[in-house]
Chain A
Amino acid sequence: MLRGYLFTVLGIAIGVAGLVALGAMSERIVRFIDGGDRFVLGQISVAGRGMGMGTGFTAGGLLPAATIRAISEVPGVQGVQAQIMLPLDPSTSQFMTLTQELILGMDLSVPMPNRHYRSLPVRSGRFLQEGDRRVAVVGASFATSRGLSVGSHIKLEDEDYEVVGVLDRMLTAPDRFVMVSIADARAQWVAKDRLLRTVLASGGMALTASDLNTGAAVGWRDGDDPDAVALRIRERVPGVNVQLPSELSRLLRSSTAFFSALLAGIGALAFVIGGLSLANTMAAAVFERIRDFGVKRALGATDLQLGREVLAESLAVTLVGGLAGIGLARVLGWFIDRYLAQAQQLFHFSPRLLAGALVFSILLGAAAAAYATARVVSLSPAEAIRRGA
C-alpha cells in the first residue's frame, strides 16, 4: 500500500520530527518548572537572615543549631532538616545558572520533611544513610556527564568520595546534584570558603560545626496550613528568612514566566511548522497522483471508493511517517543530549507528547488528504488524466 510513498513518508517524518523535537523541549521546560513548584510546595524553606559569609546557593545568612531548635519548637512544625547547599564550582561563570551543579548536604538523622519528596528515587545503588561519610549520591545528569556509576569515585575539594547511589532522572534540579552527609558538606564548605576559615580560626565567633547550615527544610503537621506555620516561624524565631510555600511557588512561577511564554511560543511554532509541512506533503502526494485517480475512475472507481482508498493510504502513510518522525526526533534528542548538551536532558519525550503528535499527524494528514481528494474527484476522469499527464 505504501509503495511509491517513500518521499511522502520522509516529508511527513521530517515534519513530525520537528513537531516532536520542539514539543519535547517544551515538555522539558514544563517538567522543570513543575518539579520545582512541587518541591517548594512540599516544604517550608528557611535560611539565615542576611548576606552572611559562605552562604552558598541560598544567599542567606548562617542558620545556627540554636535557631534550628527554635524552629522545631514552633507549633505546627514537624521535622526540621538542616541542610547545606553549595555550588560545586563557585566560579562566577556558573554561579546561579539554571544548569549549576550543586552539593547538597543533608542531616540524615531527620527524615526528609518535604511532603512531596519523602525520599528521592534511586536508579541504582542506595540513598544516603545516617552515619555515612565520604560517600555520595549523584543526580542522573551529573552521573552521565562524568560517567559515574555505583562504585565510582569522585574528588570533592580534594577528598575522595565513593558513589553509592545514582538517582533516577527527575527532570528538575536534583539531576545536577551531588548529595552527601551534612558533616561532609560542612567540611567542603570550610575548605571552599577562605573567609569562613579565617573567622573560625580567629575564634571571633562562637561557632560549632552544627552551626554551619545554609538553610533548613521544615515540615508541618497533618491538618496544618503550611503558610500559617511559616508565618508562625517568621513571628516567633528571630533572624531567619522564611519562605511561605505558596509565596515561593508564586515567585517561582513569575520568575519562570519567560520560560512559560517561550514554551507556548515553541509549542505554537511546532504546530504551525510541523502541521504545515505535514499537510502540505500529504496534499502534494495526493495531487501528484491525480492521473492515477483519473485512471481508477476510468476503471469504474466511485468517489466513495476513491475517498476510502485515499483515506486508508493517508492514514497508513501518516502513521508510518509519524512513527518515523518520532523515531527521528528521539535519535536527534538523544544525540544532542549525549554529545552537545553535556549530558543535560534538553528533551523530554513524554507519552502524552508522543501520543498527541501521532494523533495530530494522523488527523491532519487525513484532513489534508481528504481536502486534496475532494478537489481531485471534483474533476472529470478525463480532466484528471489530462492534468496529471
Chain B
Amino acid sequence: MLRAAGLMKSYRAPSGTAIRVLAGVDLTVKGGEIVVVTGPSGSGKSTLLNVLGLLEDGDRGDIWFEDARVSALGRAAKSHARGRYVGFLFQSFLLLPSLTALENVLLAARYVRRSGAAIRRRAMELMQEVGVADRMDHFPAQLSGGEQQRVAFCRAVLNDPPLLLADEPTGNLDDANGAVILDALRGRARAGAAVVVVSHRPEAAVGASAVYRLRGGVLETS
C-alpha cells in the first residue's frame, strides 16, 4: 500500500546550517501490516510521518500509494490523495474546537465529497464502536483526552482509508485510553489497512509487523 524510497529532508536552523532529519529512508508497508517507528525526541519521526502522509514535501525521494507515485503530484492532487488514501491520528488530537464531536468526525467526509444519511450513520456507528456515541453533541473542550482521541480516530477512519498514519497517538493518554486506541488501530490493520505508528510506548509494538528505530535519518530494524 505504501512505499517510500530514498526520502531525504533537511531543515535550516536559525544559524543557517542545514539539519538533515531524513537521510534516505526506505519503507514499505502492505495492507494489513502495522509498522511501528521509534526513536528519541527530535530524531525526525514526526517529520517522516508528515512526509509519508504528504503533509510536507521531502527534499528528495519518492512515495507511492498503491501504484500511484504521489510524491510527484501537484498541490491539489496531493490534497485529493490525502483525502482518498490517508487517515491521520495526531498526539494532540487536533479536533476543531468550534465543531461538535460528530461534526469533527464528519469533517473527514466533506473534502472527499461524501455526505448524506449514509455517511452520518457510518460516523455514528464508529463513535458507538469506540464508546463516544453519547458525546457526539459535545465540543472538544467538553471531552476528556481519551474521548477526544477516540473521536479523532473515528475521523481518521471514516472514509476507510487504506493507510493510517498515527503520530504518538497515545502520547497524551493514560494507559487505559492508550490501550483502546492501540486496539482500534490493530482492528483497522486486521480490516486490511496499512498502519504506521510513531510511538515511544513499548506496548505499541505489540502485534506489530515490524518495528523500526529512526537513527541518524535512516530506519534501522529494532
- Provide the residues of chain A in CB contact with B97, threshold 8 Å: 4
Q: List A residues 288-302 near B (Cβ within 8 Å).
A: 291-292, 294-302
B55 touches A382 (CB 8 A): yes
A298 touches B53 (CB 8 A): yes
Q: List B residues 188-212 near A (Cβ within 8 Å).
A: none
Flag whether B221 is at the interface (Cβ < 8 A): no
Q: Take A3-B98, A292-B96, A296-B111 as given contacts and tell me if A302 and B76 are in contact as well, using a CB distance cutoff of 8 Å.
A: yes
B96 touches A300 (CB 8 A): no
Q: Take A297-B79, A382-B50 as given contacts and tell me if A305 and B55 are in contact as well, using a CB distance cutoff of 8 Å.
A: no
Flag whether A48 is at the interface (Cβ < 8 A): no
Flag whether A183 is at the interface (Cβ < 8 A): no
- Provide the residues of chain B in CB contact with A302, threshold 8 Å: 75-76, 79-80, 111
Most chain A beta-carbon contacts within 10 A, residue among B50, B83, B111: B111
The proximity string for B residues 81-120 relative to A, scoring 1 for CB distances below 8 Å and 0 otherwise, is 0111000101010101111000000011011100000000
A299 to B83, CA, bound (A): 5
A263 to B88, CA, bound (A): 57
Give the distance to chain B from A252, nearest Cβ to Cβ, in Å.
55
Give the distance to chain A from B14, nearest Cβ to Cβ, in Å.
15
A292 to B90, CA, bound (A): 13
Give the distance to chain B from A382, nearest Cβ to Cβ, in Å.
4
Most chain A beta-carbon contacts within 10 A, residue among B79, B80, B83: B79
Flag whether B137 is at the interface (Cβ < 8 A): no
Selected contact of A291 from candidates B79, B80, B94, CB within 8 Å: B94
Residue of A nearest to B93 (CB): A295
- Provide the residues of chain A in CB contact with B50, threshold 8 Å: 380, 382
Flag whether A304 is at the interface (Cβ < 8 A): yes
B57 touches A380 (CB 8 A): yes
- Provide the residues of chain A in CB contact with B83, threshold 8 Å: 299-301
A381 touches B94 (CB 8 A): no
Give the distance to chain A from B67, nearest Cβ to Cβ, in Å.
20
Flag whether B220 is at the interface (Cβ < 8 A): no
Give the distance to chain B from A369, nearest Cβ to Cβ, in Å.
16
B55 touches A300 (CB 8 A): no
A383 touches B79 (CB 8 A): no
A295 to B82, CA, bound (A): 11
A383 to B56, CA, bound (A): 8
A380 to B108, CA, bound (A): 18
The proximity string for A residues 300-336 relative to B, scoring 1 for CB distances below 8 Å and 0 otherwise, is 1111110000000000000000000000000000000
Flag whether A62 is at the interface (Cβ < 8 A): no
A380 touches B56 (CB 8 A): yes
B111 touches A295 (CB 8 A): no
Residue of B nearest to A298 (CB): B88
A380 to B98, CA, bound (A): 22
Q: Take A296-B111, A383-B56 as given contacts and tell me if A301 and B79 are in contact as well, using a CB distance cutoff of 8 Å.
A: yes
- Provide the residues of chain B in CB contact with A242, threshold 8 Å: none
A253 to B200, CA, bound (A): 80
Selected contact of B94 from candidates A380, A383, A385, CB within 8 Å: A385
Give the distance to chain B from A361, nearest Cβ to Cβ, in Å.
22
- Provide the residues of chain A in CB contact with B155, threshold 8 Å: 299
Flag whether A389 is at the interface (Cβ < 8 A): yes
Q: List A residues 1-41 near B (Cβ within 8 Å).
A: 3-4
A346 to B94, CA, bound (A): 51
A298 to B155, CA, bound (A): 11
Q: List A residues 268-304 near B (Cβ within 8 Å).
A: 291-292, 294-304
B98 touches A4 (CB 8 A): yes
Give the distance to chain A from B211, nearest Cβ to Cβ, in Å.
24
- Provide the residues of chain B in CB contact with A389, threshold 8 Å: 92
Give the distance to chain A from B62, nearest Cβ to Cβ, in Å.
18
- Provide the residues of chain A in CB contact with B98, threshold 8 Å: 3-4, 292
- Provide the residues of chain B in CB contact with A382, threshold 8 Å: 50, 55-56
A299 touches B55 (CB 8 A): no
A380 touches B76 (CB 8 A): no
B107 touches A296 (CB 8 A): yes
A304 touches B53 (CB 8 A): no
- Provide the residues of chain B in CB contact with A305, threshold 8 Å: 79, 111
- Provide the residues of chain B in CB contact with A380, threshold 8 Å: 50, 55-57
The proximity string for A residues 370-389 relative to B, scoring 1 for CB distances below 8 Å and 0 otherwise, is 00000000001111010001
A304 to B113, CA, bound (A): 14
The proximity string for B residues 23-63 relative to A, scoring 1 for CB distances below 8 Å and 0 otherwise, is 00000000000000000000000000010010111000000
A300 touches B56 (CB 8 A): no
Selected contact of B112 from candidates A3, A297, A300, CB within 8 Å: A300
Give the distance to chain A from B130, nearest Cβ to Cβ, in Å.
18
Residues of B within 8 A of A (CB): 50, 53, 55-57, 75-76, 79-80, 82-84, 88, 90, 92, 94, 96-99, 107-108, 110-112, 155
A to B CB contacts below 8 Å, 10 in the list: A292-B98, A295-B94, A297-B79, A299-B88, A300-B84, A303-B75, A303-B79, A305-B79, A381-B55, A383-B56
Q: 3 shortest A-B CB distances, which residue pairs?
A: A300-B83, A4-B98, A300-B111
